[in-house]
Structure 1
Amino acid sequence: MSDAIADAKRALRAELRERRNLLSEAALETAGSGVREQLDALVEQLDVRSMSCYLSIQTEPDTREFVVEAVRRGIRVLLPVTRADGLLDWAVATDEGEVAEGLFGLSEPTGELLGPIAVNDVDLLVIPAAAVDASGMRLGWGRGYFDKTLGSMEGCPPVYAVVFDTEVLDEVPQDLHDQPVTGVVTPTRTLTLAPTAR
């Protein structure tokens, strides 16, 4: 990655992180409710039986309630578990939502770990992002876990990134290893940006 691209990514992430940190509790609650409605509609539209999602942190639109409700409706939901080698293991979500602290202080599911290829059988991937642009290029938070996962999948299913409405941008800085997404879910809308993620 060139220094210019790395610097541009760092600057944009810092700006987005600062904006998220300034959001009120009420704004975060409203965003979480909207994202849950959008994800419910997407799952129904795509007739999803199994999917991956993630457990949101405090400054992200909430995905936790969606995960619990999806499990209760009989959808098999895989949640990511970070590994030191930069890959993701997966664990099946339960409606109790038991979690422990993971590598980077993030909440991660407890229970039996499935290897990185467990996600190859899902109908939909829902992943976090800092921003997504109009072409479907996703800016992550810099660790590369989801880019590696998407880049290694054959026959990748639809991939939707979850962001706030203001984080759908005209363009984000990108490098060769960055992976595009099929679409984006915000608190007010779901946009399909490309027919497939790759």
Structure 2
Amino acid sequence: MTDGIDDAKRALRADLRERRQQRSEAMRTADAAGVKAQLDALIARTGARSISCFLSAPTEPGTHEFVADAVERGIRVLLPITRADGLLDWVVAEPGADIAEGLFGMPEPVGEVLSPLAVNDVDLLVIPAAAVDRTGMRLGWGRGYFDKTLGSMQHCPPVYAVVFDTELLDEVPRDLHDQPVTGVVTPTRTVDLASPRR
């Protein structure tokens, strides 16, 4: 990664992180309800029966309600667990399962751990992001877990990043390893961006 791209990513992430921390509890509750409604509609539109999602941190657009409801409705939901080697293991979400703190302080599921290959069976990936641009390029938080996962999948299904409305930008700094997404889900809308992944 060139220093200029690295610096631009760091500066943008810092700005986005600060904005997220300023959201009130009432806003976060409304955000989570909005994200759930958008993701429910996306699942209905795509017919997905097996998906990956993530357990949101307090400052992220909330996904916990969506995950719990999807599991209750019989949708298979894989949740990621970070590994020290930069790969993601997966756990099948279960009703009322415990949540622990992962390697980087993020909420992660407790349960039977499946290998990184488990995600190859899903119909839809729902992933976190710091921001996404209008071409579908995603800016993550700098650890590369989801770029590695998406880059390693032979037949990648549609991928939607969950962000706030203000985090769909005209352009984000990008590097060669950065992976695009199919679209974004925000608390108020779902936007298709890139052509579906193959």
Same fold, judged at TM 0.5 (above): yes
Residues 12-62 of structure 1, C-alpha deviations (whole Å, 9 max, x = no match): 000000000111111111111100000000001100110000000000111
Residues 66-121 of structure 1, C-alpha deviations (whole Å, 9 max, x = no match): 00000000000000000000000000001113111111111111111000010001
SS in 2 for 1:176: coil
Q: 2:86: which partner in 1?
A: 86
Which one-letter code corresponds to 1:41 in the other structure?
Answer: A
Which one-letter code corresponds to 1:178 in the other structure?
Answer: D
Q: 1:71: which partner in 2?
A: 71
SS in 1 for 2:114: coil
How far, CA to CA, are the matches of 1:195 and 1:98 in structure 2?
A: 37
Note the C-alpha offset of 1:196: 1.9
Does the aligned pair in 1 maintain the 2:133–2:171 contact within 8 Å?
Answer: yes
Q: 1:179: which partner in 2?
A: 179
SS in 2 for 1:30: helix
Q: 2:34: which partner in 1?
A: 34
SS in 2 for 1:95: coil
| Count of residues in correspondence between the two structures | 198
Does the aligned pair in 2 maintain the 1:161–1:181 contact within 8 Å?
Answer: yes
How far, CA to CA, are the matches of 2:154 and 2:109 in structure 1?
A: 25
Query: Any stretches of 5+ residues in structure 1 without a counterpart?
Result: none
Q: 2:165: which partner in 1?
A: 165
Under a length normalisation based on structure 2, what TM-score does the superposition of the two structures give? 0.98
How far, CA to CA, are the matches of 2:73 and 2:90 in structure 1?
A: 20
Map 1:115-154 → 2, pairs under 5 A? 115-154=115-154
How far, CA to CA, are the matches of 2:136 and 2:197 in structure 1?
A: 8
How well do the aligned residues superpose, as a CA RMSD in angstroms?
0.8
Q: Is the aligned partner of 1:24 residue 2:15?
A: no
Which one-letter code corresponds to 1:26 in the other structure?
Answer: A
Does the aligned pair in 1 maintain the 2:61–2:162 contact within 8 Å?
Answer: yes
Under a length normalisation based on structure 1, what TM-score does the superposition of the two structures give? 0.98
Query: Any stretches of 5+ residues in structure 2 without a counterpart?
Result: none
Does the aligned pair in 2 maintain the 1:52–1:77 contact within 8 Å?
Answer: yes
Which one-letter code corresponds to 2:59 in the other structure?
Answer: T
Identity of aligned residues (%): 72
Sort the Cα spacing of 1:12 and 1:197 in 2 relative to 1 into closer, same or farther, 3 A.
farther
